[in-house]
Amino acid sequence: MNKKKLRKKYLHMRRYISQNEIRKMSYDIFFQLKKIFFIWEKKLYHIFIPIQKFREINTFIIINFLLKKEKCVTIPCSNFHKLSIENCLFHENTILIKKKHGILEPIPMHKYIISISMIEVIFIPLLIFDLKGYRIGYGKGFYDRFIPLCKKNVMKIGLSYFSPIKKIQNIHKNDLFLDIGITPSQIFLFDKNSRNKNFENIPNYDRHHY
């Protein structure tokens, strides 16, 4: 199935996820993430704020965890005229306002831009990913333009309600792929060669498995 059809399919499927299901699956995804200890050794994390109308995963669970660990957290601030993203600092006193498409962003006086080159881990919004680590986003290409501006070894993590599909059709060489994919029940680690390592329900996961 090609990108356009997959995008339509999974946007439709999300409409039928209840708030209780979102809450449960968001925590399940977080608990999977916590198994990967090497993720939490970094200093600066870029993470998207959930868009309510798209029933996105509640990333505030992850954000609060990072802030308690005294990590630096940044969030995307979108420029729809240039189809680009700025890397904005987020802390517990940041006041958010709803902007275009229901996106929450800091009020102007709380908008502090941090260099993109400082990002070590980035959580990327998506609808679905495949077993090679490629993803389907919302089709605007914000992160496809943003990621190349990050340093080469930035860790790219995708969070999904749904199990990955076997293959996304019409992928081209410049398409963004993930290093790690997380679902409520599974962890997927990808690399440039195999792109399909799968670790399911790991009881005692540690960095030596990577």
Exposed (0-12), middle (13-18) or buried (19+): which is 14, by Cβ within 10 Å?
middle
> Is-contact 72 45, C-beta < 8 A?
yes
What are the sequence ranges of the domains in the chain?
A: 3-209
The rounded distance, in Å, linking the Cα atoms of 121 and 96 is 22
Instruction: Output the pLDDT for position 203.
Output: 41
Instruction: Output the pLDDT for position 124.
Output: 94
Correct CATH for 3-209 of 3.40.50.10490, 3.20.20.10, 3.40.50.10420, 3.30.2290.10: 3.40.50.10420
Q: Is the pLDDT of residue 135 over 90?
A: yes
Average pLDDT over residues 68-79: 93
pLDDT confidence tier of residue 209, bands split at 50, 70 and 90 = very low
139 backbone φψ class: left, alpha, beta (φ>0; ψ -120 to 50): left
The alpha helices in 75-114, defined as continuous H runs, are none
Summarize pLDDT for 26-52 with one digit per residue, the tens: 999 999 999 999 999 999 999 999 998
Q: Average pLDDT, whole number, for the chain?
A: 88
